[in-house]
Structure 1
Amino acid sequence: MKILITGGTGLIGKELLKLIMTHHLVVLTRDPVAAQHQLSHIHSANLNFIESLDAYRSLDDFDAVINLAGEPIADKRWSKQQKRRICDSRWAITQQIVTLIQASEHPPHTFISGSAVGYYGDHKNDVIDETVEGHNNSFSHYVCSNWEKIALGAQSDKTRVCLLRTGVVLSPEGGALKKMLLPYQLGLGGPIGRGRQYFPWIHMIDMVRAIVYLLEHPSASGPFNMSAPHPVTNKAFSQCLAHTLKRPHILFTPTSAIKLVMGQSSELLLDSLRVKPKKLIDLGFQFHFCRLEPALKHLIHQTH
């Protein structure tokens, strides 16, 4: 297949490319030289870089598009400017891809586009599968719901659209786990607030395997919860991480302190999302890491 990919140099993108490197890959990137260096593990004969889609009038040459681009949502406090960057970095490129798919006589048969479990908003202890509607009072829902609405504009009898409602992706290379490791290794880890909020996690290996699974299954369409089958509370996650690292688990971070430091973006840590990957499981996907403890042991082992 010839596959167009955005976000190919991101945390998920780099791992995904390892699994699909036998295909003809075209990576959209602002800096092809830096991208080529970051993706040096990919056989160059199968890999091309483009800086813009402006030269394209359609996507007739592509069999599939995987859209993972977006400003990291948790790296900075949500100022007005940062919120605009978060939205624009997702919505604009998605709209450009959709417009090109709509203009295609023979469009890509598959469009896989990013989203996040933040679509749902806080649901306390309720189990969340793909049939649950999101709350419209959180910024995360606002970003994701519009992102998904734009992506679904590509849906037709020639193109199926899969939406990746992604949880917290655990990887030794970056993201949430890498940020957590140092304080926990120093014995400073602990739950946030009472720790009762559910934490929808997924091992990086399962994340990228699931994307490939969706790519290869023509019957797959619509939203998919990209999270492990057994979400845990923040307290249970914290205890398991401390236990895996053989470190104490005695501290906690008050909710008020998180809200003071992070402002509105504290919803990323305080909202409870008991997410289940019902559609992936119904489709026949089998997780390598269903439970947290084996997942953390595998990830921690990779960091040593």
Structure 2
Amino acid sequence: MKILITGATGFIGAHLVKQIGEHDITILSRDPASASQLLGTAVTAIGSLSHFDNLDDFDAVINLAGEPIINKRWSKAQKGRICRSRWDITATLVEKMEAGSQPPATFISGSAVGIYGNQHDLEITEDFDVSGSVDPDDFAYQVCRRWEQLAVSASSPATRVCLLRTGIVLGRNGGALKKMLPPYQLGAGGPIGNGRQYFPWIHIDDMVAAILFLLNTPEAKGPFNLTAPEPVTNRTFSRSLAAALHRPHILFTPAFVLKLALGEASSLLLEGQRALPEKLESLGFTFRFRQIDAALADLLA
């Protein structure tokens, strides 16, 4: 299978490329030389989609590109970068697919559970009506909603579209867990705010396996929650992480401290989604890590 991947040097993308198997892989990167060095010579790295008039040569496109959403305060300029890094590449990919006569059979495109807004302890499956249940001014919702609309426009009798409504991806050497570990290792970790907000986590191995499952399941289309079947509250996650590291769990981070440090972006940590992967499991996908204790034990072994 010939596959084009964007965002291949990111945390999820790099793990995916290593696990994707014997396929002909082309990756899009702003620095093709560095990308090839990072991911190996088995991939073809390009710096621009202008190389292609259309994408007829590819069987599938996996679109994972996007500026990290939590690294910085959401200034007007940063919001622009977050949006453009997702919307522009997705729009270009769709344009290239529509320009051909035999477009890729599969388009897998990123999104996030942030599209659901803050739904407290309500269990959320992919059938949840985002258009009528989320604050339209919620920035994460705005980003994901437009991102998904652009991706879905590639849908046709020739092309199925899968949307990855991704939760918090936990891995050994990157992502959210890497940033969380230092205070916990020092015995200073604890819940954020009141700790009751849900933490829709997924192990990186299950994240990659789910993408490959969607790639190889022709009947799969539409949105999919990329989250473990047993989401936990922030307090439960925090307690599990402290226990896995054999550290105390007595401190907490007040909400006002996060709001001072991150501004509007603090909503990603103080709010949450109890998202469930109903569609993935109904199609037969099996999670290796359903429970947070087992996931953290594996990642911190």
TM-score, structure 2 as length reference: 0.97
Q: For residue 272 of structure 1, what is the aligned residue in structure 2?
A: 272
Distance (whole Å) between structure 2 residues aligned to residue 204 and residue 247 of structure 1: 24
- Which runs of structure 2 are paired with 1:79-228 in the superposition (5 Å)? 79-134=75-130, 135=134, 136-228=136-228
Distance (whole Å) between structure 2 residues aligned to residue 174 and residue 76 of structure 1: 17
Q: Look up the equivalent residue of 2:46 and give its one-letter code.
A: I
Q: For residue 48 of structure 1, what is the aligned residue in structure 2?
A: 44
- Which runs of structure 2 are paired with 1:233-248 in the superposition (5 Å)? 233-248=233-248
- Which runs of structure 2 are paired with 1:31-42 in the superposition (5 Å)? 31-40=31-40
2:55 equivalent to 1:59: yes
Between 1:182-191 and 1:48-57, the stretch displaced more is 48-57
Q: Look up the equivalent residue of 1:159 and give its one-letter code.
A: T
- Secondary structure of the equivalent of 1:54? helix
Distance (whole Å) between structure 2 residues aligned to residue 272 and residue 166 of structure 1: 13
Q: Look up the equivalent residue of 2:115 and give its one-letter code.
A: Y
CA contact (8 A) 2:125 2:276 kept: yes
CA contact (8 A) 2:18 2:39 kept: no
Deviations 1:195-242 (A, max 9, x none): 000000000000000000000000000000000000000000000000
Residue 104 of structure 1 deviates from its aligned partner by: 1.3
- Secondary structure of the equivalent of 2:153? helix
- Secondary structure of the equivalent of 1:196? coil
The list of structure 1 runs, each at least 4 consecutive aligned residues, that deviate by more than 6 angstroms after superposition, is: none
- Secondary structure of the equivalent of 1:240? helix
Aligned sequence identity (%): 57
Deviations 1:91-140 (A, max 9, x none): 00000000111111011000000000000000011001001123123100
TM-score, structure 1 as length reference: 0.96
Question: Structure 2: any 5+ residue segments left out of the alignment?
Answer: none
Q: Look up the equivalent residue of 2:62 and give its one-letter code.
A: I
Deviations 1:45-76 (A, max 9, x none): x4211110113111110000000000011111
- Secondary structure of the equivalent of 1:154? coil
Distance (whole Å) between structure 1 residues aligned to residue 2 and residue 126 of structure 2: 29
Deviations 1:141-191 (A, max 9, x none): 000000000001100000000000000000111111011111001000000
Distance (whole Å) between structure 2 residues aligned to residue 55 and residue 183 of structure 1: 45
